């Protein structure tokens, strides 16, 4: 088996076999579902009925090209370009399903991508990410690719190709609310991250300088991290409600038992452990010889901290910030349960109405935002590592 499927010397690329298998499975699954309205369950449509003859031929061409470049990759750059083109084509074909299936005189009908679309999209994303991991592109190229993918997705949405799909119809009736909750989601995720960085980095420095304090502080933060998120959100309602009722001016600045305040406090509490622990690890990783050299140059403890230790520890600290941001973008969804707003509003509304596309309207932007944040911060971490290496040489 290894000789047939293993590595460069084998006959087929191992990841390519998995991608090809998922692509073939996708063709055997329903590509889109049609419902006469948003309440009734959808009726499955395979790709030949959902796309019409030209669209079905296009999907088969996408599938064949995917299998070809996956099993026997001609070059990594061509493989990456093929995966990006295939993803764009698949998105356009999903939009075509809406125009093919919806009768022109039925404004209430709904068409949604079905399992075949999602499985094929998963296969193409696996192909793209596997190719990128092998290429190991520089941080700048990663950011360029992120911009290209974001631009392509924006172009598909702006072109109107998806206007007949149910998720865009859900967005059309909630556009103002979508952007309002989007701003709230970003404010919760980045606001809690900023507060955690301001408090956690000094706390990490203190733990590094005072070893006796490190274990109790880290243990306490670990206990907070083990509390389920929804439980922590609930636990904060009573004390914050008391603060709002008994401390003058608390309500005026937005503190209350429900809403953004308990959500922000909970996200802040969850953010502290990664920031503090990574700050401690980063400072502990500074070579003793570098500290001795800084001391030999006549630097004070404060000068050594700001000019030597923190710059060298910065990549590790930034890794903790990356963990926190991606985590908080996801956790901010739950804030909607206590009136905190964010994309979770659509997720829980959709669950209550059994409306899958309304759930996706909240879930997909959350996933895309977390994905983009991870790529940007990964690039910054690698760039800072290179800068740190230059400082030590």
Tell me which residue of 115, 195, 179, 199 sits closest to 341, measured CA to CA: 179
Whether 167 maps to a domain, the answer reads no
Q: What's the pLDDT tens digit per position in 131-186?
A: 988 888 888 888 998 898 889 889 988 888 898 899 998 898 889 999 999 999 99
What does the alpha-carbon distance between residue 108 and residue 105 come to, in Å, rounded to a whole number? Answer: 9
CATH code of 141's domain: 1.20.140
- Residue 113 has a pLDDT of 92
> What CATH number is associated with residue 209?
1.10.3720.10
Say if residue 50's pLDDT is above 70: yes
Same domain? For 294 and 366 the reply is: yes
For residue 244, give both structure tokens. 């709002």
Q: Which residue has the tokens 């706390």?
A: 203
Strands 43-45 and 32-35, by their bridges, are: antiparallel
Angle among Cα 176, 178, 180 to the nearest 5 degrees reads 70
Assess whether 357 and 382 both reside in one domain: yes
Which alpha helices (DSSP H) does the chain contain, by range? Answer: 2-5, 14-27, 47-71, 76-101, 115-135, 139-159, 166-172, 175-209, 211-226, 229-235, 237-246, 260-284, 288-296, 301-304, 310-331, 344-353, 356-392
Share of the chain above pLDDT 90, in %: 41
Q: What pLDDT is attached to residue 387? A: 63
The CB-side HSE value for 262 (13 A sphere, CA atoms) comes to 27
Q: What is the token pair recorded at 19? A: 């991608």
Q: Are residues 334 and 375 in the same domain?
A: yes
- Residue 284: domain span: 175-392
Instruction: Note whether 35 and 42 are within 8 A (CB).
Output: yes
Report the SS3 class of residue 43: strand
- Residues linked to residue 35 through DSSP beta bridges, in sequence order: 110
Of 161, 193, 227, which marks where a domain is finished?
A: 161
Picking from 237, 267, 242, the residue whose alpha carbon sits closest to that of residue 334 is 267
Would you mind telling me the total number of residues written for the chain in this entry?
393
Same domain, 207 and 324: yes
pLDDT: which is higher, 252 or 157: 157
Rg (CA), the chain: 25
C-alpha span between 74 and 37 (Å, rounded): 46
* 68 alpha-carbon distance from chain centroid: 29
Same domain, 13 and 74: yes
Q: Give the pLDDT band of residue 11 (cuts 50, 70, 90).
A: confident
Decide: 30 and 46 in contact? Cβ < 8 Å: yes
Phi, psi of 287 (to 5 degrees): -60, 140
pLDDT value at residue 250: 65
Residue finishing a domain among 95, 126, 161? 161
Residue 169: inside a domain: no
Q: Which residue has the tokens 């699954």?
A: 29
For residue 110, which phi and psi values (nearest 5 degrees)? -130, 135
pLDDT band at 110 (very low <50, low <70, confident <90, very high): confident
Give residue 164's pLDDT: 87
Which 3-state string (H, E, C) describes 278-306?
HHHHHHHCCCHHHHHHHHHCCCCHHHHHH
Do 184 and 157 share a structural domain? no
CA-to-CA distance for 41 and 39, rounded, in angstroms?
Answer: 7
Same domain? 89 vs 210: no
Q: In this predicted model, what pLDDT tens digit does every residue of 73-96 receive, in sequence order?
A: 778 889 999 999 999 999 999 999
Domain end residue (candidates: 132, 161, 190) = 161
Specify whether 70 is located in the same domain as 121: yes
């Amino acid at each position: 088996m290894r000789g047939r499927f293993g590595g460069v010397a084998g006959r087929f690329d191992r990841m390519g076999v998995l991608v090809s298998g998922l692509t073939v499975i996708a063709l055997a699954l329903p590509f889109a579902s049609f419902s006469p309205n948003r309440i009734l369950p959808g009726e499955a449509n395979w790709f030949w009925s959902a796309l019409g003859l030209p669209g079905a031929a296009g999907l088969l061409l996408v599938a064949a090209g995917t299998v070809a470049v996956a099993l026997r990759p001609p070059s990594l750059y061509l493989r990456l370009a093929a995966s990006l083109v295939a993803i764009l084509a698949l998105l356009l074909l999903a939009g075509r399903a809406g125009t093919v299936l919806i009768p022109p005189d039925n404004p209430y009908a709904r068409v949604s991508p079905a399992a075949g679309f999602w499985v094929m999209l998963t296969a193409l994303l696996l192909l793209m990410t596997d190719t990128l991991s092998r290429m190991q592109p520089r941080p700048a190229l990663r950011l360029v690719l992120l911009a290209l993918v974001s631009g392509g997705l924006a172009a598909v949405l702006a072109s109107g190709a998806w206007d007949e799909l149910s998720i865009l119809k859900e967005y059309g009736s909630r556009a103002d609310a979508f952007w309002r909750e989007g701003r709230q989601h970003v404010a919760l995720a980045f606001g809690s991250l900023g507060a955690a960085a301001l408090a956690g980095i000094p706390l990490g420095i203190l733990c590094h300088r005072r070893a006796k304090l490190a274990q109790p502080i880290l243990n306490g933060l670990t206990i907070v991290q083990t509390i389920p998120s929804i439980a922590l959100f609930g636990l904060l309602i009573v004390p914050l409600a008391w603060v709002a009722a008994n401390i003058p001016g608390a309500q005026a600045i937005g503190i209350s038992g429900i809403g953004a305040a308990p959500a922000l406090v909970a996200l802040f509490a969850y953010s502290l452990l990664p920031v503090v622990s990574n700050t401690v690890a980063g400072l502990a990783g500074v070579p003793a010889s570098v500290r001795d050299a800084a001391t030999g140059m006549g630097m004070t403890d404060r000068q050594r901290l700001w000019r030597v230790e923190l710059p060298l520890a910065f990549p590790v600290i930034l890794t903790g910030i990356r963990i926190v941001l991606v985590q908080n973008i996801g956790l901010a969804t739950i804030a909607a349960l206590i009136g905190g707003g964010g994309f979770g509003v659509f997720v829980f509304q959709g669950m209550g109405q059994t409306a899958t596309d309304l759930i996706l309207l909240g879930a997909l932007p959350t996933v895309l935002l977390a994905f983009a944040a991870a790529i940007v911060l990964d690039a910054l971490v690698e760039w800072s590592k290179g800068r740190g290496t230059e400082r030590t040489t």
